[in-house]
């Protein structure tokens, strides 16, 4: 009979792979635990006082425009011949109003008050103006 005096390389390789797989499993479990723990803390919804009332004048009649607050689409349509009014509760600490002309993809950004306000959009000679008044 022949005796094996050397190391069993295959057995060591399998044990090393097993330990590595176990380590990866433990790290993934820790990340899942931490993500669910912080998700429970973040469930409390933050609400902001105030609202924005956006009045779009009939200067935009017949134009295809899109109105955004931050990254939320509020309106995307061809404008009618009358004044249009939108009312939106504040949902972020700082807000920006974006008016996009769908025909030319021209974007006009405006910063909004962080207390809520009444906003009137008008256009004269192709330039969009914003008149913002506090409520």
Task: Give the mean pLDDT of 104-119.
Answer: 91
Residue 5 is predicted with a pLDDT of 61
Tokens of 82: 């009358």
Q: pTM to 2 decimals?
A: 0.65
Confidence of residue 116 (pLDDT cuts 50, 70, 90): confident
Fill in the DSSP letter of residue 60. Answer: G
Task: Give the mean pLDDT of 37-47.
Answer: 68
Confidence of residue 4 (pLDDT cuts 50, 70, 90): low
Task: Give the mean pLDDT of 87-104.
Answer: 91
The CA angle 81-104-113, to the nearest 5 degrees, is 70
Task: Give the mean pLDDT of 97-113.
Answer: 92
Name the nearest CA neighbour of 115 among 98, 97, 131, 92. Answer: 92
Say which CATH topology domain 51-134 has.
Immunoglobulin-like (2.60.40)
Mean pLDDT of the chain: 88
């Amino acid at each position: 009979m022949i005796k094996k005096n050397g190391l069993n390389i295959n057995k060591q390789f399998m044990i090393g792979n097993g330990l590595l797989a176990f380590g990866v499993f433990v790290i993934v479990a820790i990340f899942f635990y931490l993500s669910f723990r912080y998700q429970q803390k973040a469930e409390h919804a933050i609400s902001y006082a105030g609202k924005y009332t956006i009045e779009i004048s009939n200067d935009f009649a017949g134009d295809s425009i899109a109105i955004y607050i931050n990254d939320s689409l509020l309106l995307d349509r061809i404008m009618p011949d009358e004044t249009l009014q939108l009312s939106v509760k504040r949902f972020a600490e700082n807000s920006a109003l974006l008016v996009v002309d769908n025909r030319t993809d021209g974007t006009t950004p405006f910063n909004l008050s962080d207390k809520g306000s009444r906003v009137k959009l008008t256009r004269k000679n192709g330039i969009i103006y914003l008149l913002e008044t506090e409520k």
